[in-house]
Structure 1
């Protein structure tokens, strides 16, 4: 039976309750939003992907053009390389050239020197800065960092830049304890980066002569991370394994204000080309507009009742005390 089909992603374990009488109409204006003072066509955005090479230059240029056309926010991949290889700036800046007035996020790791980070933000004319947390990925990399004392360095970056900071996990999920620690340190925006999409630790393990395979399975599933984080912050970004507009709808219902999409869009671009990604983004906007109408949503934030499959409910019940 389809009801008992094997679940492949934590979003599949979240079920939205649809009203038979939604009393709504299909209106693209309903999914429009404003973020950091800029108007956007939808609450989903193109999340951090790549930079620092000729191939990534082409990718970022195409993503910048599509972000401009569809009025979506765009987060660039890690620009920490610019602290050592300033000549790679153009591979990132092409996105800003293609989208001069759009919402653009720079991205660095916590060990990027403060002065270099300020320069990156200014050179890219970034509207906000993502600081990514990728401890599991670094641990799996043969040449990865082994110094994970990051909080004070992150605070120094926050104090030095004059744009909002988004703390972003990279495929393993932000847990409630870490969110509360970050809040005490003055951070306000959080991108969950949950497990369910690209597994960077697994990728790095595959090229490690002495892999630590336990890292392949340490991630906090995205839907579970959202359930745990939503009571702690209104500034929540849900990302990690977002495959379709229904996943966006579920992310918003779970408490996300915005939803990041990386792997699906990048795969479409690389395998099918920029025209296909153009059509895909247009369809996502159209489908999400329809879903808002079907679930009776006339304004944001989304308020849709939901229930959880037993596996996800059990996980949440075991961890929910961490919210307090």
Structure 2
């Protein structure tokens, strides 16, 4: 097994080790006001939407996880099958490994083979060449491409990059890649200045990926003999990063610490077009089995429809109008940064 593939395996083990199903985060400090008389009913049709021109059953999806090793082949096989059965979108883990080890393509391609008509999102790092990224998109028949910005992870990673002059390459990617591009953080949150800068360069879609869920500094520190554990505590909370994206009036996905359907609903109320879930679904699969994960996703779809009814909504179009308030500690951050 190559060093890169071994790192993928280690990430899976450490994501399981550090997983907390009820880890406190910024969603706990955000509250919504519901009408006692909602005049609604539970309707699964109300949560249906489209992603990149494809109809999906719900506005939440399986966000970037893995690929590039034997175990990730098996995981992506099941994720692809489940995405097909539940009709939700699937984003694959970083495929940048294919630029060095093209023989690992099957560990990503298996997801598309299991879900030939579903919404599928590829993922690469910010230094992947435009030609290589377009090749990956074509090979995977991806409907969109996430480009992840993972500076903190790279610093904590013992073999990580130390050169973060990425903007020029991002421009080349935008010009070359023929599917929509999503700029994505990896659990430390997109800040407003970065969103504004990229917006000015023509980037239109973002995944805020705030802090509160999987912590890749913590994961890399567990692999690093020169531990930089103080990096575990930096990052923008998901709610704050989402509010920043909303202020910049860009289309964005909310992810980072989504634990349950109420978090999904709050993400939509913050203005997210979609909500991404990674480790909750990953652990449901590897700690239980594929049937458990499929049932969980179907339960979330039903419970999200219930939440729309509770809050007096008949569709997804007006969720940002629901009144919201914040605990003082979060409100203080909002007042300082926004």
- TM, length-normalised to structure 1: 0.95
Which consecutive residues of structure 1, in runs of 5 or more, have no partner in the other structure?
1-5
**What SS does structure 2 have at the residue aligned with 1:166?**
strand
Select between 105-114 and 72-81 the one with higher mean Cα deviation.
Answer: 105-114
**2:325 pairs with 299, 307, 316, which one?**
307
Q: Superposed, which structure 2 residues align to 1:1-324 within 5 Å?
A: 8-301=24-317, 302=319, 303-320=321-338
Where in structure 1 do 4 or more consecutive aligned residues deviate above 3 Å?
none
CA shift for structure 1 position 87: 0.5
User: CA offsets per residue over residues 167-213 of structure 1, 9 Å max, x none?
Assistant: 00000000000000110111000000100000001111122121222
Distance in 2 of aligned mates of 1:306 and 1:19: 12
Distance in 1 of aligned mates of 2:229 and 2:278: 24
User: CA offsets per residue over residues 32-73 of structure 1, 9 Å max, x none?
Assistant: 001111101000000000000111011001111111111101
Select between 189-198 and 213-222 the one with higher mean Cα deviation.
Answer: 213-222
Q: Is the 8 A contact 1:198 1:263 kept in 2?
A: yes
CA shift for structure 1 position 234: 4.0
Q: Is the 8 A contact 2:206 2:250 kept in 1?
A: no
**What SS does structure 1 have at the residue aligned with 2:276?**
strand
Distance in 2 of aligned mates of 1:294 and 1:163: 37
CA shift for structure 1 position 116: 1.3
Give the RMSD, CA atoms, in angstroms: 1.1
**What SS does structure 1 have at the residue aligned with 2:80?**
helix
- TM, length-normalised to structure 2: 0.92
User: CA offsets per residue over residues 128-169 of structure 1, 9 Å max, x none?
Assistant: 000001000000011100000101111111111100000000
CA shift for structure 1 position 229: 1.6
Distance in 2 of aligned mates of 1:210 and 1:95: 36
Q: Is the 8 A contact 2:23 2:212 kept in 1?
A: no
**What SS does structure 1 have at the residue aligned with 2:105?**
helix
Q: How many residues align structurally?
A: 315
CA shift for structure 1 position 214: 2.3
CA shift in 2, pair 1:313/1:50, >3 Å: same
Distance in 2 of aligned mates of 1:228 and 1:186: 18
Distance in 2 of aligned mates of 1:187 and 1:234: 9
**What SS does structure 2 have at the residue aligned with 1:220?**
coil
